[in-house]
């Protein structure tokens, strides 16, 4: 049970290359830069880390999900519309198999997670919430 789950919101800064790229490579914001640097220094950690990214276009997706370049902002209405999809993805994960879950999403993206049950984090799983502006 050494696996970890990282949940991030996407970034406006993107790789605008044509075609499909893994989501983790499409986004180029500060947190993604830090994540890539960490994985570059500790490549063995990639096998123990599951990354999920909340996108206004795609919803909550795995970091290895292939996505195209896009330009869509998250607003409250879109975040509310994404709640069922976010719930479905989160509750389909085997959350009790993670040693820790780290959640780093801004307030407007966090609205998409409001529909989750209060007890969505299993007992014994370390949970860290990073408040972002």
pLDDT tens digits, one per residue of 11-64: 999 999 999 999 999 999 999 999 999 999 998 888 999 999 999 999 999 999
Distance CA 28, CA 5 (A): 20
pLDDT at 102: 96
* Averaged pLDDT for residues 88-100: 95
Domain boundaries, the chain: 3-132
Neighbours of 9 (CB within 10 A): 23
The whole model's pTM is what?
A: 0.94
* Averaged pLDDT for residues 86-100: 95
* Averaged pLDDT for residues 110-123: 93
Percent of the chain residues topping a pLDDT of 90: 89
HEC per residue, the chain: CCEEEEEEECCCCECCCCCCEEHHHHECCHHHHHHHHHHHHCHHHHHHEEEEEEECCCEEEECCCEECCCCCCCCHHHHHHHHHHHHHHHHHCCHHHEEEEEEEEEHHHHHHHCCCCCCCCCCCCEEEEEEEC
pLDDT at 115: 86
Whether 133 has a pLDDT exceeding 70, the answer reads no
Q: Which CATH architecture has domain 3-132?
A: 3-Layer(aba) Sandwich (3.40)
- Closest by Cα among 87, 27, 83 to 51: 27
């Amino acid at each position: 049970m050494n696996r970890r789950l990282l949940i991030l919101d996407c970034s406006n800064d993107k790789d605008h290359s044509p075609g499909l790229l893994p989501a983790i490579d499409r986004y180029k914001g500060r947190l993604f830069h830090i994540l890539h640097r960490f994985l570059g220094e500790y490549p063995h950690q990639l096998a123990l880390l599951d990354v999920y990214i909340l996108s206004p276009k795609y919803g909550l997706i795995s970091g290895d999900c292939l996505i195209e370049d896009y330009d869509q902002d998250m607003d409250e209405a879109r975040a509310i519309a994404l709640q069922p999809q976010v719930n479905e993805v989160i509750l389909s994960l085997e959350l009790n198999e993670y040693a820790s879950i780290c959640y780093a999403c801004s307030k407007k993206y966090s609205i998409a997670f409001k529909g989750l049950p209060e007890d969505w984090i299993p007992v014994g799983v370390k949970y860290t919430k990073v408040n972002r502006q």
